[in-house]
Copies of this chain bind each other. A is one copy, B any other.
Amino acid sequence: MSMEAQFTEHLKKINGYNEAISLLYWDFRTGAPKKGADLRSETIGILSSEVFLLSTSEEYGQMISELEAKKNELEPIMRRSVEEARKDYDLSKKVPPEEYKNYVILQAKAESVWEDAKKAADFSMFQPYLVDLVASTKKMIGYWGEKNGSPYNTLLDQYEPGMTTEVLDDVFGKLRDRIVPLVRKIQDAPNKPDTAFLFRKFSKDAQRDFSFKILEQLGYDFEAGRLDETVHPFMIGINRYDVRITTKYDEKDFRTAVFGTIHECGHAVYEQNFDEKLSGLPVEDGASMGIHESQSLFFENFIGRNEKFWKTNFELLKSFAPDQFGEVGLEAYYRAINESKPSLIRIEADELTYALHIMIRYELEKGLFNGDLQVEDLPALWNDKYEEYLGVRPANDAEGVLQDVHWAGASFGYFPSYALGYMYAAQLKNAMLKDVPNFDELLEQGHVAPIRAWLTEHVHQHGAMKNPLEILQDATGEGLNAEHLASYLEDKYTKIYQL
């Protein structure tokens, strides 16, 4: 067997195990009987250990090295796959196994403490764990080797290859300077949308039926996926042709399901449209967390919160809940679903204020790893920044520094990807308009296919063959640029709030 074939064969085995793990997880979330939970966790543990062994075996390392040695003879897909494999292999392999295991155990423990601390709204319970997590992560960075000149850049690189604080400081600064005044203006605007009708009862079954219709319209392939219900919505690739999404139905706020479904659909359509040639290889993956998020946000905001999209779909929506919307007009509906209001909770934030939530987290993380910020200072700094950027102040740690699980899982450097996703999406939309000038018209007709095709051409098909900035450059002709998102938000909200 050639070395390429051995490498592919080895990956096939890892992929098989991962398919099983993904399904065990999906099933756990979508309705596995609760008494089976402990055994289920054990089973996930058994298979995960096997994947770790397969991913860090000497044999696999040897394959990667041999392929690297003849790098120039490899086809581009194989060459890039070997690079990705090397990156993952080294990340797992450079850390002494015992320490890595302790790091994982610390995360599991910290997540459970974080849950309790959040319930008690008491940061001091979680503080010692977070101190440990930051220290351990710094140690990991020591093993991994610093990348792009600072410890925090090393972390950023794991989620957003090539991204640095220099770039983020610049774009986040520019974006903040445009958003903050807009948020203030909206707060003072006299003409606020009426949103009362959003909260009338909308039956779960009707929401589900509507969700299916919208997914079909958006080009989600139901022969290669399915929609189910969970407490926290997610997208999960079980295998190359089985990319599932879940949503949550809130009978008192249909927006949770509708926009959640559209969001996850964006993630899924990305994975459903990877080039078949990438099948089974490490490049069969999103280019980065930020690029993945750009696709879900493109769907959620640039399609789902677009006025034209609702031109026909609002009538469809009404047909599923005739009592709720009987007298509401399209414009009133459009304004209501785009209400902007500074809030304390990131995951409930609107399109305009969302990036501010991210910037706060980014600045704190950066301070922890590159500066001299101490864990004990986080709660007060968090609250101060909320007051400064959003004009609201958490009343306790639960709605402040404890709201997100990310840090408990040592996912430092992850948050920026969410805001980058917004910027990427706005840049892609801007570039798309040159090729698809009738964007609004297409949405009005419920004809999303040409929009999706553009995204597939410029983003989806490439998987992880390019890094995020290459995707952006090739698709838009420019690098990261906050201007497009800023202008989009200014135009949109000036109109909605008649500023």
Contact = CB atoms under 8 A, between A and B. Distances in A.
Given A17-B46, A20-B20, 10 more contacts: A23-B23, A23-B27, A27-B27, A31-B226, A33-B226, A33-B242, A34-B223, A35-B224, A36-B224, A39-B239
A19 interface: yes
Contact of A223 (B21, B33, B221): B33
Interface in A37-58: 38-40, 42-43, 46-47
Contact of A36 (B15, B35, B240): B240
Contacts of A480: none
A94 interface: no
- Copies of this chain present in the complex amount to 2
A13 interface: yes
A79 B39 CA distance: 24
Nearest to A45: B16
Interface of A: 12-13, 15-17, 19-21, 23-24, 27, 31-36, 38-40, 42-43, 46-47, 221-226, 238-242, 244
Contacts of A38: 241
A35 B226 contact: no
Contact of A39 (B40, B43, B221, B241): B241
A47 B33 contact: no
A40 B27 contact: no
Given A19-B40, A23-B27, A33 B222 contact: yes
Contact of A32 (B15, B39, B242): B242
B46 A16 contact: yes
- In the A-B complex, list the 4 residue pairs whose CB atoms are closest, starting with the nearest: A36-B242, A16-B46, A35-B241, A20-B20
B19 A241 contact: no
B242 A39 contact: yes
B40 A20 contact: no
A225 B42 contact: no
Nearest to A50: B50
B36 A16 contact: no
Contacts of A27: 23, 27
Contacts of A40: 19, 239, 242
Contacts of A16: 42-43, 46-47
Contacts of A46: 12-13, 16-17
Contacts of A226: 31-33
Contacts of A32: 226, 238, 242
